[in-house]
């Protein structure tokens, strides 16, 4: 068996590849996204949505596994913002799997 040196990775970028799987988070209760890796995750306690700020503006990310995060596309961020504005929460955010996720950078 060869010795393999793995880098210490605490953050990796994946791009989300598909739209949310429903129209209104409070109505159906869950928001799911599919990732380039082929995985699909439901936003919730195990896969929280966090919005950070980077040099290009808000950067929405979902925790996937083992401390890795997937960065969502700008188009999906805007779709989530539409849902948040429709639901009227303050601060604007979305509900999924019983958890509330504000869409403002933390």
Write down the architecture of domain 25-101 according to CATH.
Roll (2.30)
Query: What angle (nearest 5°) sits at the alpha carbon of residue 101, between those of residues 100 and 105?
Result: 150
How far is C-alpha 85 from the chain's CA centre?
17
pLDDT digits (tens, 9 = 90+) for 49-60: 999 888 888 888
Residue ranges in the chain whose pLDDT is less than 50: 1, 5-25
Q: What is the reported pLDDT for 45?
A: 94
Q: What is the CA radius of gyration of the chain?
A: 15
Q: What is the reported pLDDT for 30?
A: 83
């Amino acid at each position: 068996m060869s010795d393999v040196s793995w880098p210490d990775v605490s953050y990796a970028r994946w791009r989300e590849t598909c739209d949310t799987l429903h129209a209104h988070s409070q109505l159906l209760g869950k928001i799911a996204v599919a990732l380039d890796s082929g995985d699909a995750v439901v936003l919730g306690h195990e896969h929280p949505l966090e919005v950070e700020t980077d040099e290009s503006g808000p950067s929405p990310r979902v925790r996937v596994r083992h401390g890795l995060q997937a960065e969502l596309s700008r188009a999906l961020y805007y779709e989530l913002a539409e849902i948040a504005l429709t639901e009227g929460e303050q601060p604007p955010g979305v509900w999924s799997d019983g958890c509330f996720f504000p869409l403002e950078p933390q």
